[in-house]
Amino acid sequence: MTLKADLYFSFRSPYSYLAVGRYRDMAREYDLDINLRTVMPIAVRDPDLLFTGNPAAPRYIVLDCFRAAQFLGIPLSWPRPDPIVQDLATREIAKEQPYIFRICRLGQVATRRGKGLEFAAEVAQIIWDGSTENWHEGDHLAQAATRAGLNLAELETEAASDAEALDSEIAGNTKALDDAGHWGVPTLVVDGEPFFGQDRVDMAKWRMEQKGLVKR
């Protein structure tokens, strides 16, 4: 029996990047259907939280995500450009956000087509692995979509024509994450049980093996 899980994911989260490829590989190897549920970054969902949290948090997150990447052997570099336009020194979020809404809507369209996990894994790589500058330009996204088995032009057309509905679906993903008992990404939810963080991938697999997870 195919096991099913939801993966709550943000294109701006380095931890989401460190997890999504491993979950993609797991779904390829095991009889497992992981439904990608894109959520907006906290900078969009609740920007006030960025200003009221402990001021040491951003420095620790940067230190830890690069350390985790080294431990896992996964290349990581801060995106060029950052999916969120933000002054990292002051943490101020720009009013105009030309990247994040586009990429989140594309991710949700990919999920509609049953390819959300593949799309997120491919796009997260070009955003985060340091090999692609200006990932939003040229044919970088088109090639990533092709590797995921999708056509970028078709995704872009639907993202533009159905933006309001897609934004509603993305907001619904955020509510579903809240209902599952968490607020952060990446979070994998299996039978209502949340596994938060890139360091819970193996534990999530262990739990799913208890529920009958087997190789394809």
Domain annotation for the chain: domains and CATH numbers: 3-210 (3.40.30.10)
Spatial CB neighbours of 85, under 8 Å, sequence gap ≥ 6: 93, 94, 96, 97, 98, 99
pLDDT, position 1 = 87
Counting runs of H as helices and runs of E as strands, what totals does the chain give?
10, 6
Task: Work out the pLDDT band at 17, boundaries 50, 70, 90.
Answer: very high
Chain mean pLDDT for the chain? 94
Of 15, 3, 11, 2, the closest CA to residue 173 belongs to 11
The model's confidence at residue 7, banded by pLDDT at 50, 70 and 90, is very high
Residues 81, 31 contacting (CB under 8 angstroms): no
Q: Is 4 helix (H, G, I), strand (E, B) or coil?
A: strand
Residue with tokens 């619904």: 172
pLDDT of residue 67: 98
Tokens, residue 125: 């790589």
Q: Say yes or no to pLDDT of 175 above 90.
A: yes
Q: How many CB atoms lie within 10 A of CB 131?
A: 11
Does the structure show a pLDDT above 80 at 62?
Answer: yes
Q: List residues bridging with 195 in a β-sheet.
A: 188
CA 18 to chain centre: 9
Asked if residue 196 lies in contact with residue 182, where contact means CB atoms within 8 angstroms, the answer is yes
pLDDT band (50, 70, 90) for residue 213: very high
Model confidence at 177, pLDDT cuts 50, 70, 90, reads very high
What pLDDT is recorded for position 35?
98
pLDDT in tens, 188-197: 999 999 999 9
Position 63 confidence tier, pLDDT thresholds 50, 70, 90? very high
In angstroms, the CA 51 to CA 46 distance is 10
pLDDT per residue over 80-124, tens digit each? 999 999 887 777 888 899 999 999 999 999 999 999 999 999 999
Q: What is the pLDDT of residue 151?
A: 98
Position of tokens 């956000």? 97
% of the chain exceeding 70 in pLDDT: 97
Q: What pLDDT score does 36 carry?
A: 98
The pLDDT value given to residue 89: 76
3-state secondary structure of 192: coil
The least confident of 38-47, 63-72, 119-128 is 38-47
